[in-house]
A = this chain, B = another copy of it.
């Protein structure tokens, strides 16, 4: 045993505060934060905390980095009670709110009735919950003037997402999984950032919480084997681990490679759309209002492009005209592609949500429902 002098002790404490004393998990977070080019100080961020290990670890690490003076960000904890689990949901909300208060963070708490809104829309419960949550988080960011909303998604979430999409037969866009940074809200430009996604395993967040003596909340839906995601986590990935102990990292790498490739294809698809819409006229005599963001496309330009590129370009074009890609399936894209073949004019493809694609005299038109002049497309 060696005894430390007063100076040594002081230096050791300083190390603990700043450099090497910062935990490995928190160092991983800072490294990713810098890689993403995000500000370390002078901004407010929203941290979405469910009370589970992933988001709690994210919050604890941000707290550690604040204390170590590595980061100087203003943090608002945000939590939405989806109204799906009664008293259990309310108890989670209290737990998160107390955690935030203990750490001296502001909290933004919300309540929703996801069950009702899922019944109203055609979304399933998981989709409706996600939709309500992201709407709440975007609102919290705008209210608190934050540019970034952080979630605690890990590499394990990424692998689960990729596998779920593979088992549904997705293409590169779907198989590229969850994005590390994306726009959460177009109008405000609020970003959704997942600073654990590309490097942290779920086991690491659990261990980090344990090290902090933090007993996190367990969402009963995360144990419910009626959800495919839960079965992927509890049965499929463990079996895959017997093939490759680092299969989660491998699938995550696949997703990253696909994301680069699909992004590159996206850039080229934009060029194709520019080329295909050159010289387009807004007049087609159909009496329909054109989708405002999707100008007509030349059939010959699309037909000459490689199929994968053409399909991607059509996807972007349809998404723009409709406002999103909801309920847009491969079968719809293929129907639109079929309009490119043959020379018969005046053919129409109906898309979910009421938009139509109309092929006429060598052009493709994206039409919204007949609306009053000046009114927003439906």
Contact = CB atoms under 8 A, between A and B. Distances in A.
A167 B267 contact: no
Nearest to A311: B260
Interface stretch (A15-23, A141-149, A245-253, A289-297): A245-253
Given A236-B239, A265-B265, A166 B307 contact: no
Nearest to A260: B308
Contacts of A261: 171-172, 261-262, 265, 308-309, 311-312
A115 to B, nearest CB: 25
Nearest to A242: B231
B306 A257 contact: no
Copies assembled: 2
Contacts of A308: 257, 259-265
Contacts of A122: none
A330 interface: yes
Contacts of A307: 260, 263-264
Contacts of A345: none
B250 A166 contact: yes
A372 B40 CA distance: 57
A106 to B, nearest CB: 38
A170 interface: yes
Contacts of A262: 172, 261, 308
Given A265-B265, A307-B264, A244 B171 contact: no
Q: What DSSP secondary structure best describes chain A's contact surface?
A: helix
Interface residues of A, number: 47
Instruction: Tell which of A164, A228, A240 has the most Cβ of chain B within 10 Å.
Output: A240
A168 interface: yes
A254 B168 CA distance: 8
A258 B308 CA distance: 8
B260 A243 contact: no
A257 B171 CA distance: 5
Nearest to A252: B169
18 contacts: A167-B240, A167-B244, A168-B244, A169-B257, A171-B257, A171-B261, A175-B258, A231-B243, A236-B239, A259-B308, A261-B261, A261-B262, A261-B308, A262-B308, A263-B308, A264-B265, A264-B268, A264-B312
Interface of A: 162, 164, 166-172, 175, 228, 231-232, 235-236, 239-240, 242-244, 247, 249-254, 257-265, 267-268, 305-312, 330
